[in-house]
């Protein structure tokens, strides 16, 4: 039987079209994916992200635990509330999951993806025992992402008692207020908040957001928005068999100090050396823009002068009115190069661009 979030009844009340997503009954849209996408780009939209799991981590060696567990370094979190994005790697250098870690008054809070929660907790649990830390999955909580140029103002209108706290949040900072947690993070390329609350308070807050003029948005709009923003989706751009270097995540790896031996380091470090030496077999992540007929989709072959690659995610961009994609291609491929994509058996021209495609509602790709 599929799981349901605390907001399931609210989705039905808003005429959400329910689909299965990673074992959860979630809304794909509420009638118009395009309108939901546009609401986030121009005003404010909200997503139920309660299927993701917040995990609180406590213990004297919690910092050392994370320094071993993830490729980024929590020592960079210089104050309570600061957050970072990282891959959690396996011993072969593949990405078990991508996640956000917040420094908190009790230790750390990490948010993991819905489809990987069970394997993440199992993996983390093995290392937690070694470091003597405790992991507490907060399944008693719900999470709503409010995103868009007017998202923060409308979230404050819906939760006025948190207005002062929200006003003080920098980008990629999250702080608690009682059992609520307000983070200035997101997955859309727009400003906004990801707000965690007790499950029983989720529907009243959802309704308050609607009253403040925030538009409910489903998984469909979430995908087109994140793709325009050049943000990875687990299972598409990365998985247990894909390294962070091939998934465009090199910027999330903290190589210093050199003696920090995070899981998978030796393998990824050797791969980095291969790439620096001009490997002809390694792949990298790029953006593609295609202005022809048809839409770029995942798994389409990308033909380049240096060899074949593959699209990992593709869609028609509602903001740009062209088809865009993220792809893995040979290292020799450069921004501006012309490539060809196998669209229904015919090679069609596309152009390699630097991502993101859209940021804060505007075209930014080169």
When pLDDT is averaged across residues 307-313 and rounded to a whole number, the result is 98
Average pLDDT on 177-191 reads 98
CA distance 108 to 123: 17
What phi and psi values does residue 254 have, to the nearest 5 degrees?
Answer: -95, 105
Q: Do domains 1-277 and 282-363 have the same CATH topology?
A: no
pLDDT value, residue 328: 98
Selection from 271, 274, 287 nearest residue 328 by Cα = 287
Name 141's Cβ contacts closer than 8 Å, sequence gap at least 6: 50, 54, 179, 196, 197, 198, 199
- Quick one: average pLDDT of 100-112? 98
User: In whole angstroms, how large is the CA radius of gyration of the chain?
Assistant: 21
- The per-residue pLDDT for 271 is 98
Rounded alpha-carbon distances, angstroms, from residue 273 to 97, 143, 267, 309: 24, 40, 10, 21
H/E element, 273: helix 265-276
Q: What CATH fold (topology level) applies to the domain 282-363?
A: Elongation Factor Tu (Ef-tu); domain 3 (2.40.30)
Residues 6 or more apart whose Cβ sits within 8 Å of residue 20: 2, 26
- For a pLDDT cut of 90, what percent of the chain falls above it? 98
120-161: pLDDT as tens digits: 999 999 999 999 999 999 999 999 999 999 999 999 999 999
Q: Which of 288, 282, 270 is CA-nearest to residue 351?
A: 288
Say whether 206 sits in a helix, a strand or coil: helix
Tell me the mean pLDDT in the region 333-341: 97
Asked, as a colleague might, if the bond just before 345 is cis with ω within 30 of 0, I would say no
For the chain, the average pLDDT equals 97
Taking the CA atoms of 7, 9, 15 and 18 in sequence, report the sign of the dihedral they define: positive
Neighbours of 138 (CB within 10 A): 18
- Is the Cβ–Cβ distance between 197 and 205 less than 8 Å? yes
Query: What is the per-residue pLDDT for 292?
Result: 85
How far is Cα 213 from Cα 219, in angstroms, rounded to an integer? 20
What are the tens digits of pLDDT across the range 55-74?
A: 999 999 999 999 999 999 99
**What is the pLDDT at residue 90?**
98
CATH number for the segment(s) 1-277: 3.30.1360.120
Q: Which residues of 248-280 are buried (b: 16+ CB within 10 A; e: fewer)?
A: bbbebbbeeeeeeebbbbebbeebbeebeeeee
Report whether pLDDT(293) > 90. no
pLDDT at 265 over 80: yes
Return the domain boundaries, the chain.
1-277, 282-363
């Amino acid at each position: 039987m599929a799981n349901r979030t605390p907001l399931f009844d609210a989705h039905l009340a808003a005429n959400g079209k329910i689909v299965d997503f990673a074992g959860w009954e979630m809304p794909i849209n509420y009638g118009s994916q395009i309108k939901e996408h546009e609401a986030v780009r121009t005003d404010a939209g909200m997503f139920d992200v309660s299927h993701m799991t917040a995990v609180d981590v406590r213990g004297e060696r919690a910092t050392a635990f994370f320094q071993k567990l993830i490729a980024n370094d929590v020592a960079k979190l210089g104050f309570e509330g600061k957050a970072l994005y990282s891959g959690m790697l396996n011993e072969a250098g593949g990405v078990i999951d991508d996640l956000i870690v917040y420094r908190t008054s009790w230790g750390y809070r990490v948010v993991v993806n819905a489809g990987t929660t069970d394997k993440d907790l199992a993996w983390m649990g093995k290392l937690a025992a070694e470091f003597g830390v405790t992991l507490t999955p907060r399944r008693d909580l719900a999470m709503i992402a409010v995103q868009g140029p007017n998202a923060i103002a409308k979230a404050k209108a819906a939760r006025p008692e948190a207005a002062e706290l929200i006003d003080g949040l920098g980008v990629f900072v999250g702080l608690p207020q009682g059992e609520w947690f307000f983070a200035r993070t997101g997955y859309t390329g727009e400003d906004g908040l990801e707000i965690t609350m007790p499950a029983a308070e989720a529907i009243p807050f959802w309704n308050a957001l609607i009253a403040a003029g925030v538009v409910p948005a489903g998984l469909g709009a979430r995908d087109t928005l994140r793709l325009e923003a050049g943000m990875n989706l687990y299972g598409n751009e990365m998985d247990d068999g894909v390294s962070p270097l091939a998934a465009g995540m090199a910027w999330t790896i903290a190589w210093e100090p050199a003696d920090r031996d995070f899981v998978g380091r030796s393998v990824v470090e050797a791969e980095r050396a291969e790439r620096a030496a001009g490997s002809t077999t390694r792949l990298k992540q790029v953006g593609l823009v295609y202005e022809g007929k048809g839409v770029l989709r995942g798994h389409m072959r990308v033909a380049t002068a240096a060899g074949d690659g593959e699209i990992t995610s593709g869609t028609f961009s509602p903001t740009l009115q062209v088809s865009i994609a993220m792809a893995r291609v040979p290292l020799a491929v450069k921004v501006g190069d012309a490539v060809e994509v196998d669209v229904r058996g015919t090679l069609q021209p596309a152009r390699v661009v630097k991502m993101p495609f859209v940021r804060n509602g505007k075209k930014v790709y080169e």
